């Protein structure tokens, strides 16, 4: 096994404001692929090195964000700085019933312009990566040219034997229409050799008549390794021509915040799978980590809340 195993992510990490309108707001940051990158860096046991490719601006907030990402354990030499652009921003407001509502300011964020150069740092070092991770949100934020570049990069990596992982996070509001999203996800699934499928998102995107149909369709995907996540219901996993395994999730009596459930599952899964565990064992660890994360507030839980898992 290579040491370290080099994993590159592409996506967007946004600034987070959490609180009540015109009241006190807590600042933080997060994003789906970013959350996975941080948890993977924590769980890799020193054997996995994690790069986060994205773009930021040249403003003070961008520099402070990058400083914090380094403390989170991420390698940052794939980050581009685009003068005049800013990081995206989202606000979480909790209403009187405890429901969380999200508002986004990301239409002109720096990350959208990552591929607006002849060769990105990610592409320039394409020979280096043992694995590459992206999601439906990584694709959604890019213009069509950027999507094409990202998918061509992923295909080239897969063709030379690297592991290409696609997480099917589908957020309808980020897409001009569902047909464009379906086409882009289908192209992503065609270049992936590991697909992490949230059954609910597969259902919403492809419009199956029921969750059972969505799961059955996911089981037919022509992808080497497929993991199907179904919330508290057992997780399904199959690799190559092997059988489907059904791996129970953990019982969580007090679900505090489901943010980053799938993101942390992905990191737990890959932290084991990339180091040679079986798909079943990797899924079991993914379920354990996700169960821990949803029992705490926030996308990235404190390190000491998961110390016994490391």
The answer to the question of residue 234 lying near ligand ADP (CB under 6 A) is no
From candidates 232, 257, 275, 295, binder to ligand ADP by CB under 6 A: 232
CA–CA gap between residue 166 and residue 185 (Å, rounded): 9
Note whether 255 and 224 are within 8 A (CB).
no
The answer to the question of residue 229 lying near ligand ADP (CB under 6 A) is yes
The answer to the question of residue 198 lying near ligand ADP (CB under 6 A) is yes
The answer to the question of residue 147 lying near ligand ADP (CB under 6 A) is no
Distance of CA 76 to the CA centre of its chain: 17
Shortest Å distance, C-beta 283 to ligand ADP: 8
Say which residues have a Cβ less than 8 Å from residue 91's Cβ, sequence separation at least 6: 16, 17, 18, 25, 102, 103
304 noted as active-site residue = no
CA–CA gap between residue 116 and residue 136 (Å, rounded): 19
Note whether 167 and 62 are within 8 A (CB).
no
* Candidate list 32, 72, 130, 263, residue with the active-site label: 263
Burial class (CB in 10 A: 0-12, 13-18, 19+), 46: exposed
Shortest Å distance, C-beta 258 to ligand ADP: 6
Shortest Å distance, C-beta 131 to ligand ADP: 19
The answer to the question of residue 265 lying near ligand ADP (CB under 6 A) is yes
Identify the CA nearest to 152 among candidates 139, 168, 141. Answer: 139
Shortest Å distance, C-beta 39 to ligand ADP: 12
Integer CA distances (angstroms), 257 to 12, 274, 285, 292, in order: 21, 28, 19, 10
Shortest Å distance, C-beta 202 to ligand ADP: 11
CA–CA gap between residue 176 and residue 304 (Å, rounded): 41
The answer to the question of residue 252 lying near ligand ADP (CB under 6 A) is yes
Nearest residue to the partner ligand ADP, using Cβ: 262
Note whether 7 and 40 are within 8 A (CB).
yes
The answer to the question of residue 61 lying near ligand ADP (CB under 6 A) is no
The answer to the question of residue 255 lying near ligand ADP (CB under 6 A) is yes
CA–CA gap between residue 61 and residue 135 (Å, rounded): 25
CB closer to ligand ADP out of 120 and 287: 287
Say which residues have a Cβ less than 8 Å from residue 44's Cβ, sequence separation at least 6: 4, 5, 50, 271, 274, 275
The answer to the question of residue 250 lying near ligand ADP (CB under 6 A) is yes
CB closer to ligand ADP out of 69 and 269: 269
Provide the mask over 285-304, with x wherever binding to ligand ADP is found by CB under 6 A and - wherever it is not: --x--xx--x----------
Write out the catalytic residue numbers: 263
Q: Which residues bind to ligand ADP, rule: CB under 6 A?
A: 198, 229-232, 235, 249-250, 252, 255, 258, 261-262, 265, 287, 290-291, 294
């Amino acid at each position: 096994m290579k040491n370290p195993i080099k994993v590159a992510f592409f996506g967007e990490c946004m600034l987070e404001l959490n609180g009540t309108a015109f009241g006190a707001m807590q600042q933080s940051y997060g994003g789906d692929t970013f959350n996975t990158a941080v948890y993977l860096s924590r769980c890799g046991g020193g054997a996995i090195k994690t790069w986060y490719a994205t773009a930021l601006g040249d403003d003070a907030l961008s520099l402070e964000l990058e400083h914090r990402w380094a403390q989170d354990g991420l390698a940052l030499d794939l980050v581009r700085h685009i003068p005049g652009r800013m990081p995206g921003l989202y606000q979480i407001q909790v209403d009187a019933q405890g429901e969380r509502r999200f508002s986004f300011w990301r239409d002109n964020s720096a990350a959208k312009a990552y591929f607006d150069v002849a060769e990105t740092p990610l592409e320039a070092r394409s020979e280096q990566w043992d694995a590459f991770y992206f999601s439906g949100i990584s694709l959604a934020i890019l213009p069509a040219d950027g999507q094409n570049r990202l998918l061509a990069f992923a295909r080239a990596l897969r063709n030379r034997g690297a592991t290409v992982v696609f997480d099917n996070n589908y957020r309808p509001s980020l897409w001009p229409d569902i047909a464009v999203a379906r086409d882009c996800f289908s192209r992503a699934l065609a270049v992936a050799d590991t697909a992490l499928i949230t059954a609910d998102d597969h259902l919403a995107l492809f419009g199956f008549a029921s969750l059972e149909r969505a799961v059955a369709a996911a089981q037919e995907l022509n992808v080497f390794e497929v993991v199907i996540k179904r919330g508290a219901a057992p997780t399904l996993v199959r690799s190559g021509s092997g059988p489907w395994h059904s791996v129970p999730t953990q019982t969580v009596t007090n679900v505090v915040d489901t943010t980053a459930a799938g993101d942390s599952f992905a990191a737990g899964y890959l932290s084991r799978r990339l180091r040679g565990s079986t798909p079943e064992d990797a899924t079991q660890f993914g379920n354990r980590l996700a169960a821990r994360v949803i029992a705490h507030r926030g996308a990235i839980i404190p390190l000491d809340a998961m110390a016994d898992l490391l």
